[in-house]
Amino acid sequence: MKTQKIGRGRLMASRLAVGAWRIDADQGPDGVTADVEAAGIRAMHAADDAGYTFFDLADIYGGGACERIFGRALRERRGMRERIVVATKCGIRFPDDPAPGAPYRYDSSAEHIIRQAEGSLLRMGIDTIDLLMIHRPDFLGDPEEIAGAFERLRAAGKVREFGVSNFAPSQVSALQKACPMPLVVNQVAIHLARLEPFHDGTLDQCLADHITPMAWSPLAGGHLVGGNPAAEERLAAIRAALDGIAAARGESIGVIALAWLLKHPAGIVPIVGSTRPERIAEAARADAVDLSREEWYQLMQAASGGRLP
């Protein structure tokens, strides 16, 4: 798989990433069996075999279980850690943390960022996180305080690069103004059934400031490739357009939907969420599909619900 530079930082990674948020099979920290863990490890090794060098996690995935399983996958495959980029996120707190009655909330305080980054390092058994992202914008987040936490983590050698997730362009700008280091990614939901980043300035900012957009749920949670006969009209039109191009190219519609994202000049990195080794390998084929402008706009038109203005 081809690689690309991640933002204005020092990292190079594959054009598609693998997300590890399902490798605990939704069992949580206390329910992961040996079989579930073994399946999660197989999925991560399958991604390594398929050429992925970008792995996306978060401290909250599985209540920490996903990072622990991922860490074991690294330990069980010699040389894997050295050839990949490990990305994780922090900043979401669950209800009743740290005491009963506490609400679900966002926390970008320096104390929480540093504590969670250090926890992620311990769970994965690694010395350095390649990319740390703030998971959601904290309404009480102070850009100067966040920048200070980033600086402390970088100076300690615990994190190499920093980014954000689910941030609006204005929120990225406010944080970047306070940060001495570049924010190298903004991870947002982008897919054929969610075109907002094309219109709200997100992708424009990524292009202008050399921020790499990472696309979570690039297949709309599977709805772009599912066979739900009750799908609403717009989704059905997208699938029909995908079917036509996929048939002409001898590919799956999932691969075409991922290739559509890869075509954008901002260097969108789709995050493949499957834990099935065959699906992970299939998705990697999108890197070899270069859609024509006509094909790309055919899909954009179907996604937009009609002729473009």
Q: Which residues are catalytic?
A: 61
Sign for the CA dihedral angle at 107, 113, 119, 125 comes to: positive
Gap between the Cα atoms of 9 and 48, Å rounded: 23
Token output for 151 = 């600086």
End-to-end CA distance of the chain: 36
Sign of CA pseudo-dihedral 116, 44, 76, 38? positive
Specify the amino acid at residue 52.
Answer: Y
Q: Dihedrals φ, ψ of 37, to 5°? A: -65, -45
CA 64, CA 252: separation in Å to the nearest integer? 33
CA dist., res. 136 & res. 288, Å (int): 32
**Angle at Cα 231 formed by Cα 229 and Cα 236, nearest 5°?**
95
- C-alpha torsion 272→247→290→87, nearest 10: 0
Quick one: tokens of 269?
């990195």
Rg (the chain; Cα; Å)? 19
Identity (one letter) of the amino acid at 200? Answer: D
Does residue 29 have a cis peptide bond before it, meaning omega lies within 30 degrees of 0?
no
CA 79, 82, 85, 91 torsion-angle sign: positive
Contacts of 166 (CB under 8 A, 6+ apart): 135, 136, 137, 187, 188, 189
